[in-house]
Amino acid sequence: MTAPLRVALLGCGTVGSAVLRLLADQAGDLTARIGRPVEVAGVAVRRPDRHPDVPAELLTTDAHGLVTRPDVDLVVEVIGGTEPARSLLMAAFEAGKSVVSANKALLADEGGELHAAAAKAGVDLYYEAAVAGAIPLLRPLRESLAGDQLRRVVGIVNGTTNYILSRMAETGHGFTEALAEATELGYAEADPTADVDGFDAAAKAAILASLAFHTTVTAADVHREGISAVTSTDVARATEIGCTVKLLAICERVPGNEDGEGDSVAVRVHPAMIPTTHPLAAVGGAFNAVFVEAEAAGQLMFYGQGAGGEPTASAVLGDLVAVARNRVTGTAGPGVTTYAGLPARPIAETPTRYHVSLDVADRPGVLATVAQEFARHGVSIATVRQDGRGDAATLVIVTHSAPDAALSATVSALREMPAVRGVTSILRVEGLS
């Protein structure tokens, strides 16, 4: 057997520990699959005393020294966050090491720069674990669908918010109670901002959109709304119209028009009602799923565990085998292309559909006035349901697709109408035919 490939592990939390465990447990299989053994050269951590399970001689606090060491071939980065991860990856590329990363925030913000540095050095940058944990998703987008045209990628890519929304639907509780329960059970972190405000999903959406549309999309291009404003009324209204509420990451290619405007890319994260018959509706709890629509392939769905040490480590190791094989054959895998360079479409100009529930006065002419307001903003109504109860009535309206700004302007105008006593629920609707 030839000399082993040596791996530097940066970070040793839940995912890093699982990577070490799998590397040891599957040493024989990995050797057979790669063609050379894989060996851990070192593990960079902040506090070596907190890692009694890792052999002391492997631990170091000098991450930069580790990634540039001549006896290191490959770098696995599971620190997370932008710095020092970014500098460490750049140093690794400069030193000619291939990198496997699980760092969604970094890839979403600096993916372009990192890919360029990897390409310049002739090494690999793989990051399957950054989006939807164990689900093989980035490789299918980068490779399996490389001969097709993607139209849309819609995913449930955050387990915490999916758990909270599932519990709200099951219990009738509001967001605050459901979040408290999730925190107690360990499904939400002590500071849940990254999850509930959609930052985590937005980073993943940026990565998915970049690969799907061969265009550089960063987290700043993603319109982002979290779930903290979702009420128990929203969830109840969804049930009434045969829908369920999910936090969706939506990446769309919006076709150009006859005025010469070219195609653009609309990427957004927000809660939405989807029909209970939609394949994504059944994805409950901490699971993730991503629905892909391509020109020739049609509809595809990928489903699995989106987080957790072992599932994420599985994705890291899959990438590690790939970059190790490339190292053995002296090559690098296909890079990421951004040739399409499509502009990001602002949310205001992105076509969406709204569900709106109103409390209105139950007297002649109210429906006509409300309908007129939609028409005035160029918004076409798909369905309307009116339930009278004494002198008041509930009006539930689902619109056709219209620019988001027109929908939002309509709702603002409705709030000012004397006949409208209250707007009780507004949520976008996705997946209706």
**Cβ closer to a copy of itself: 192 or 304?**
304
**Residue 274 touches a copy of itself, criterion: CB under 8 A:** no
Q: Which stretch binds a copy of itself (CB under 8 A): 141-149, 242-250, 263-271, 348-356?
A: 141-149
For residues 343 and 252, give the distance between their C-alpha atoms in angstroms, rounded to a whole number.
12
- Per CB under 8 A, 144 contacts a copy of itself: yes
Q: If 0-12 CB within 10 Å is exposed, 13-18 middle and 19+ buried, where does residue 28 land?
A: exposed
- Cα gap 310→368, rounded to integer Å: 57
Nearest to 233 by CA among 356, 136, 128: 356
| Contact range with a copy of itself by CB under 8 A, out of 30-38, 186-194, 406-414, 423-431 | 30-38
Q: What are phi and psi of 195, to 5 degrees?
A: -80, -60
Which residue number, 48 or 136, has a Cβ lying nearer to a copy of itself?
Answer: 136
Our finding on whether 282 is near a copy of itself (CB under 8 A) is: yes
CB of 150 to a copy of itself, least distance (A): 11
Instruction: Please check whether residue 163 is in contact with residue 169, taking contact to mean a CB–CB distance below 8 angstroms.
Output: no
- What are the binding residues? 10-17, 104, 189
68 binds a copy of itself (CB under 8 A): no
Residue with tokens 């890919």: 115
Among 200, 221, 252, 319, binds a copy of itself (CB under 8 A): 319
Give the closest residue to 323 by CA, choosing from 315, 333, 314.
333
Query: Distance between CA 286 and CA 362 in Å, rounded?
Result: 43
- Among the listed ranges 156-164, 321-329, 373-381, 408-416, the one in contact with a copy of itself (CB under 8 A) is 321-329
- Is residue 310 involved in binding a copy of itself (CB under 8 A)? yes
Question: Is the Cα torsion angle 324, 326, 332, 338 positive or negative in sign?
Answer: negative
Question: Residues within the annotated binding site for NADPH?
Answer: 104
Residues 200-229, interacting with a copy of itself (CB under 8 A)? 214
Cβ 378 to a copy of itself shortest distance, Å: 33
Binding to a copy of itself by residue 241, rule CB under 8 A? no
Residues that are catalytic: 204
Site string for a copy of itself, 91-120 (x = CB under 8 A): ------------------------------
Interacting stretch for a copy of itself, rule CB under 8 A, among 64-72, 135-143, 222-230, 397-405?
135-143
Write 38-41 long-range contacts (CB < 8 A, 24+).
38/4, 38/5, 38/6, 38/7, 38/320, 38/324, 39/4, 39/5, 39/6, 39/7, 40/6, 40/7, 40/9, 41/6, 41/7, 41/8, 41/66, 41/69, 41/71, 41/72
- Residues contacting a copy of itself: total by CB under 8 A: 56
Chosen residue from 140, 192, 403, 431 binding a copy of itself by CB under 8 A: 140
- Asked if 79 interacts with a copy of itself (CB under 8 A), we say no
User: Quick one: 15 or 347, whose CB is closer to a copy of itself?
Assistant: 15
3-state secondary structure of 234: helix
Q: Which range touches a copy of itself (CB under 8 A), out of 81-89, 112-120, 137-145, 216-224? A: 137-145
Provide the residue type at 113 as one letter.
E
Starting at the edge strand that comes first in sequence, how are the strands of the sheet with 59-60 ordered? 59-60, 38-44, 5-10, 74-77, 98-101, 125-126
| Tokens describing residue 408 | 């939002």
Q: Which of 13, 37, 48, 318 binds a copy of itself (CB under 8 A)?
A: 318
The answer to whether the beta carbons of residues 106 and 89 sit under 8 Å apart is yes
Give CA–CA dist 104/95, Å, rounded: 23
Residue numbers at the binding site for a copy of itself (CB under 8 A): 18, 22, 26, 29-30, 32-33, 128, 134-136, 139-140, 143-149, 214, 279, 282, 294-305, 308, 310-311, 313-322, 325, 329, 331-332, 334, 337, 339-340
